[in-house]
């Protein structure tokens, strides 16, 4: 598998894990030193902390599904373009679209940074 295909698969794997609400399958795909930059929360360091954060974030929604429309790879970086839709725990509909930038180290995800259209919500209100 070329790095382009591997990196596309790794990027899509993060969104598959969020859709399943199960991060066990991606544990070997992320660096122990993973860095995640998320709007409103800032930089989160370490694979365990990132997975805990994503798990807590998903708990805000009774349903939340991501659809990745494209992944572009250039060198050791990838950009995933996505949309999501769902419903918050209080029954309000939610939808957003954005991009996640990935950087790879030793064929694992070393960092992720999210950019999205609707920034009215932050995790820590």
Q: What DSSP character marks residue 40?
A: T
**Domain-located, residue 125:** no
Q: Nearest to residue 103, comparing CAs of 3, 2, 17? A: 3
CATH of the domain at 53: 3.10.450.50
Measured CA to CA, the distance from residue 90 to residue 87 in angstroms comes to: 8
In this prediction the pTM is 0.91
In-domain check, residue 124 = no
Give the single-character DSSP code of 53: H
Please write the tens of the pLDDT for every residue from 65-113.
999 999 999 999 999 999 999 999 999 999 999 999 999 999 999 999 9
What is the band of 125 on the pLDDT scale with cuts at 50, 70, 90? very low
Domain containing 112 equals 3-116
Q: Could you read off the pLDDT of 16-35 as tens digits, one per residue?
A: 999 999 999 999 999 999 99
């Amino acid at each position: 598998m070329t790095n382009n295909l591997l990196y596309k698969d790794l990027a899509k794997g993060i969104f598959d894990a969020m859709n399943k609400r199960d991060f066990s399958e991606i544990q070997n795909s992320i660096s122990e030193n993973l860095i995640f930059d998320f709007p409103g929360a800032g930089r989160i360091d370490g694979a365990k902390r990132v997975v805990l954060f994503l798990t807590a974030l998903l708990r805000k929604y009774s349903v939340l599904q991501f659809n990745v429309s494209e992944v572009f790879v250039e060198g050791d970086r990838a950009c995933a373009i996505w949309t999501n839709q769902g419903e918050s725990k209080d029954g309000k509909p939610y939808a957003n679209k954005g991009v996640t930038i990935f950087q790879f180290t030793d064929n694992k995800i070393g960092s992720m940074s999210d950019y999205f259209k609707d920034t009215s919500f932050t995790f820590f209100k």
